[in-house]
Amino acid sequence: MRPADISVMRKSLWCLLVVLSAGCLPSLAYAAVTPSRAEFSRNAGGAGLSLVFPAPVKYKVFSLRDPNRLVVDLDGVDSGPSLDRLVSGMANSDPDIARVRVGHPAAEQTRIVFDFKRDVPKVETAVAPEGNGGQRLLLKWLSSGVKVAQATPVVSDAGRSSAADPKSKDVPQWTVSATPQVTFGPYSKSSIRSSFTTAGGLVDARYLERGGVAVGATHTTLRYSNGTPTLEQNAGFLSARVSYAPDRLPGNLTMRADLHQVNNSDPSNETNRVHVFAPQLSYLSFDKMQYFDLGYAYSSYGDSDIGNPSLKVRQLTPTVGLGLNQGADWVQLRLYDIRFPDSVRTQNKSATDALEAKWTHYMTQQRWLPEQVQVSALAGSRLYAVDGDTATVYNLADIQKGGVGVGAQWKLAPSVQLQLNGGYNRYESLIGGVSTTYSGSHLYTGVNAQW
The pLDDT tens digits for 229-254 are: 999 999 999 999 998 878 677 788 99
pLDDT at 169: 39
Predicted confidence (pLDDT) at residue 8 exceeds the cutoff of 60? no
- Name the least confident of 94-103, 170-179, 275-284: 170-179
Task: Please tell me whether residues 151 and 200 are part of one structural domain.
Answer: no
pLDDT at 43: 76
Neighbours of 25 (CB within 10 A): 11
Give me the number of domains the chain comprises.
2
What average pLDDT does range 137-152 have in this prediction? 59
Closest by CA position to 1, among listed 248, 261, 348: 348
Note down the domain range covering 103. 37-155
pLDDT at 112: 87
What average pLDDT does range 392-407 have in this prediction? 94
Average of per-residue pLDDT values in the chain: 83
- Name the least confident of 8-22, 127-141, 143-157, 248-262: 143-157
Predicted confidence (pLDDT) at residue 439 exceeds the cutoff of 90? yes
Supply φ then ψ for residue 257, to 5 degrees: -135, 130
What average pLDDT does range 57-74 have in this prediction? 85
Domain stops at, among 100, 129, 155: 155
Question: Between the CA of residue 66 and those of 62, 119, 120, 244, 281, what are the distances in Å?
Answer: 14, 10, 11, 9, 20
pTM: 0.70
**CA dihedral for 396, 398, 399, 405, sign (positive or negative):** negative
Task: Name the DSSP letter for residue 33.
Answer: B
pLDDT at 117: 83
pLDDT at 239: 98
Task: Please tell me whether residues 228 and 267 are part of one structural domain.
Answer: yes
**Residue 70: inside a domain:** yes
Percent share of the chain, pLDDT over 90:
43
Mapped onto helix, strand or coil, the DSSP state of residue 388 is coil
Closest by CA position to 140, among listed 83, 65, 70: 70
Task: Please tell me whether residues 334 and 385 are part of one structural domain.
Answer: yes
Task: Please tell me whether residues 276 and 418 are part of one structural domain.
Answer: yes
Predicted confidence (pLDDT) at residue 155 exceeds the cutoff of 70? no
DSSP codes of every residue in 80-127: HHHHHHHHHHHTT--SSEEEEEEEEEETTEEEEEEEESSSPPPEEEEE
Closest by CA position to 13, among listed 360, 351, 426: 351
Predicted confidence (pLDDT) at residue 177 exceeds the cutoff of 90? yes
Predicted confidence (pLDDT) at residue 430 exceeds the cutoff of 70? yes
Task: Please tell me whether residues 150 and 180 are part of one structural domain.
Answer: no
Most confident of 156-160, 178-182, 223-227, 346-350: 178-182
pLDDT at 6: 52
Residue bearing the bigger pLDDT, 300 or 99? 300
What average pLDDT does range 4-29 have in this prediction? 55
pLDDT at 166: 34
pLDDT at 195: 96
- Name the least confident of 55-59, 150-154, 387-391, 397-401: 150-154
Task: Please tell me whether residues 241 and 364 are part of one structural domain.
Answer: yes
Identify any residues that bridge with 449 across adjacent strands, giving them in sequence order. 178, 416
pLDDT at 56: 86
pLDDT at 94: 72
**Residue 352: inside a domain:** yes
Predicted confidence (pLDDT) at residue 208 exceeds the cutoff of 60? yes
Residue bearing the bigger pLDDT, 28 or 62? 62
**Residue count (the chain):** 451
Residue bearing the bigger pLDDT, 327 or 201? 201
Furthest-apart CA atoms within the chain: distance in Å: 86
**Residue 130: inside a domain:** yes
pLDDT at 54: 86
Residue bearing the bigger pLDDT, 264 or 120? 264
What average pLDDT does range 201-208 have in this prediction? 91
Closest by CA position to 91, among listed 68, 57, 114, 72: 114
Task: Please tell me whether residues 263 and 346 are part of one structural domain.
Answer: yes
Task: Name the DSSP letter for residue 132.
Answer: T
Residue 27: exposed, middle, or buried by beta-carbon count in 10 A (0-12, 13-18, 19+)?
exposed
Task: Please tell me whether residues 291 and 356 are part of one structural domain.
Answer: yes
Task: Please tell me whether residues 98 and 75 are part of one structural domain.
Answer: yes
Task: Please tell me whether residues 325 and 366 are part of one structural domain.
Answer: yes
Question: What is the distance of C-alpha 441 from the center of its chain?
Answer: 27
Predicted confidence (pLDDT) at residue 274 exceeds the cutoff of 90? yes
Task: Please tell me whether residues 21 and 65 are part of one structural domain.
Answer: no
Identify any residues that bridge with 196 across adjacent strands, giving them in sequence order. 185, 222
What average pLDDT does range 153-169 have in this prediction? 35
Q: What angle do CA 230, 232, 235 make, to 5 degrees?
A: 155
Question: Between the CA of residue 412 and those of 180, 369, 406, 450, what are the distances in Å?
Answer: 15, 11, 20, 12
What average pLDDT does range 43-54 have in this prediction? 83
Predicted confidence (pLDDT) at residue 38 exceeds the cutoff of 50? yes
pLDDT at 176: 93
Residue 252's domain is classified under what CATH number? 2.40.160.40
pLDDT at 233: 97
Task: Please tell me whether residues 230 and 335 are part of one structural domain.
Answer: yes
**Residue 327: inside a domain:** yes
Predicted confidence (pLDDT) at residue 366 exceeds the cutoff of 90? no
